[in-house]
Amino acid sequence: SQQGEEDPQALSIQEGENATMNCSYKTSINNLQWYRQNSGRGLVHLILIRSNEREKHSGRLRVTLDTSKKSSSLLITASRAADTASYFCATGASGNTGKLIFGQGTTLQVKP
């Protein structure tokens, strides 16, 4: 079963604009992670936020986590054409189950 659901499914913006993607999940989590995938390639880890954290930054990325609403958002500021990719959230369940469940992803297109 899919744990994370992302919104929107697709997003198209101009270079320099900010991009926001949202992720909702259903059960208790240990952590939530965001990944990026370029077409036809494997996924690359971007950022991990633990259930006791509310916000995390990494360069132009900002992730928030609201465990009461079971939701997270990824903000990419000052987007570049090279940010064009699919972005996925993934949730690790509470306890050490070892399972990481991915959402459907958001496809981001950044136009130069």
Partner 1 sequence: DGGITQSPKYLFRKEGQNVTLSCEQNLNHDAMYWYRQDPGQGLRLIYYSQIVNDFQKGDIAEGYSVSREKKESFPLTVTSAQKNPTAFYLCASMGLPNSPLHFGNGTRLTVT
- Please report, as ranges, the residues that interact with partner 1 according to CB under 8 A: 1-2, 4, 30-31, 33, 35, 40-45, 48, 88, 90, 92, 96, 98-105, 107
Shortest Cβ distance from residue 70 to partner 1 (Å)? 17
- The two three-digit tokens of residue 80, written as one number: 């570049």
Strand, coil or helix: 83: helix
Torsion angle of alpha carbons 74, 44, 60, 22, nearest 10°?
A: -10
- Alpha carbon separation from 76 to 34, 73, 80, 110 (Å, rounded): 12, 10, 9, 11
Of 98 and 112, the one with the shorter C-beta distance to partner 1 is 98
Of 19 and 46, the one with the shorter C-beta distance to partner 1 is 46
Shortest Cβ distance from residue 17 to partner 1 (Å)? 24
Shortest Cβ distance from residue 16 to partner 1 (Å)? 27
Shortest Cβ distance from residue 45 to partner 1 (Å)? 4
Of 18 and 54, the one with the shorter C-beta distance to partner 1 is 54
Report whether 92 contacts 33 (CB < 8 A). Answer: yes
Report whether 102 contacts 89 (CB < 8 A). Answer: yes
Of 48 and 75, the one with the shorter C-beta distance to partner 1 is 48
